């Protein structure tokens, strides 16, 4: 359900940041637990959200010469 909520959040051109945050908030409102999601919209914008202590993320775009690796979203 987290993935569907995140994808539905992209409707209407919302930025992936907003959609990912909304999906995690919806999860927390319904159940206890930890999760994360990584979203890439049709424009190639990358974002992620999580409610765990840590979540490693890696992605590659045509503009990058090597993968971007992120260990936290600060």
**Dihedral (Cα; 67, 49, 37, 12), 10-degree rounding:** -100
pLDDT at 72 over 80: no
- Summarised one tens digit per residue, pLDDT across range 8-54 is 999 878 999 999 999 999 999 898 889 999 999 999 899 999 998 88
d(CA 44, CA 66): 16
How buried is residue 8: exposed, middle or buried, by Cβ count under 10 Å (0-12/13-18/19+)?
A: middle
């Amino acid at each position: 359900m987290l993935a569907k909520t995140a994808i539905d959040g992209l409707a209407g051109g919302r930025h992936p940041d907003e959609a990912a945050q909304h999906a995690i908030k919806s999860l927390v409102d319904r159940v206890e637990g930890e999760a994360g999601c990584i979203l890439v919209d049709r424009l190639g914008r990358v974002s992620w959200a999580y409610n765990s202590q840590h979540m490693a993320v890696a992605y590659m775009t045509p503009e990058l010469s090597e993968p971007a690796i992120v260990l936290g979203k600060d």
